[in-house]
Structure 1
Amino acid sequence: MPQVRTLVITGFGSNCEVESAHAARMAGSDVTDIVFFSDIVAGRTRIDAYNFLIFPGGFLDGDDLGAAQAAAVRWKHAQTAAGEPLLDQLRAFFDADGLILGICNGFQLLVKLGLLPALGGAYFARQVSLANNDSARFEDRWVTLCANPQSPCVFTKGLSVIDLPVRHGEGKLVPMEPAVLDELMASGAVALQYADPATGAVTMDYPANPNGSPQAIAGLTDPTGRILGLMPHPEAFNHPTNHPDYTRGARPTLGTALFENAVAFLRAGA
């Protein structure tokens, strides 16, 4: 049975790496390492030595120039101490059937690197971005999400409705052109959408949709389903008592279910 080796990349303002690593361990990851970006550049760690890569939440570079914009430029131009472009390692990791999860700030990085949504297989070409919330303020609240059963996403398989917390100021999806939004919906690239907590139906109403994202898009996947980026924080819902309605008897699906799906996929060697 294949071993699950998880790499959580931190540094330059990430602040959710410990929780993300904890969620991966809870899900059964055999090896889970938190590694600084600078250690990867220095050649002390290789991305392609792992098969599960997590870009955690936080505030990369203080969100200067826009959330994760500076980090995307850093990734595009970084070379290891041996002179290898870092994106080559990332490509090798993905080409070897690795899984990538980007959470909040990590999602912002994935779209600005062009790893999501990669419509038509156009990886590393930016097709969408994430902009300021319609509320013009930082949103810190619990939301309800519904998973798209037509999506190829590995992480959301078998899920229907899930509650997760959000904490972001730039979570509104912005397609480069209207046709991109249409293709997102038609292709199954939309993995998760904001939903009404009472009905589970997709909603554009605030605050259930905390940022005004069109089509209530909360998470995207790539054509293979092996990359997921989402604005809510699944790693932050790792125990029933995290949920605000726990004392009222609520026992909703934990956010760690997304990590469990990833581990099961890698264990199966699919």
Structure 2
Amino acid sequence: MDHDIRYNQTMIRYQDGELIETTDDYVKEFPLTVIVNGHEFATIICSPNNLEELVLGFLASEGVIFKREDLLQLELDDQRGYAHVKVTTDIEQANYLSTKRMVASCCGKSREFYFQNDAAIAKTSMSTIQLSPSQILHMMAQLQAHSKTFIATGGLHNAAISDGNAFYVHRQDIGRHNALDKLYGYCIKRHISVRDKILIFSGRISSEILIKAAKIGVGMIISKSAPTTLAVQLAQDLNITAIGFVREGHFNIYSHPERVDGAPKQLHASQQCRK
């Protein structure tokens, strides 16, 4: 059962030279401990909605499962904050339990953990999707329109997965990685192919977010914010089209522009787009 991710409470606001007692909405922060085959695997700090999708997507991102059939059982005790999971993988033999993990809502795990473990899971995209500039702008406008809780609280990351026309699903979470894992879990649960899909994202495209996109298997990620240099390098290496600063009728293409109608087939170092 999903919980309301918004909470309303009395607070004091300083405005126009006065201190005024009023109320405000803010987002809930929820610890979910994932128990895999009887072992404590990780604690995810998240928003308490779409938790089954979150667990599915997280386990797939970690390489614990590769398809829906690898999951034998998933029971949520969302009152106490536990997800009890049985999988076909022998996690003890695979050395998944060497370190207990706290997956924070702000930045996920450390970069060291990502680069030690993610190379085998991140996929080089084989996507042949082709989009027009107007489709890219429209998708970001749709994401903004769906982000009602963010508008009320200012405390969430928003993400969606699309085929370039309609959204398959929109998800939100206090953790940017969690929002993407919820999308991944949604697709795994419903056996939806992600090869020719696009991630639409509200936050910065960091290297960790780009790796998450590669793990999911999409060929394009678009964001209203900026990419980092390492994210662009990884996007180039993994054949992913990374598009940032999608706002107010413009955007920047940082890698593999050939998937956008009218763009050159490749970028040269001296021609890479800047803000």
Q: Same fold (TM over 0.5)?
A: no
TM-score normalised by structure 2 residue count: 0.27
TM-score normalised by structure 1 residue count: 0.27
Looking at both structures, which has the greater relative contact order when contacts are Cα pairs under 8 Å and sequence separation is at least 6? 1
Larger Rg: 2
Structure with greater proportional strand content: 2
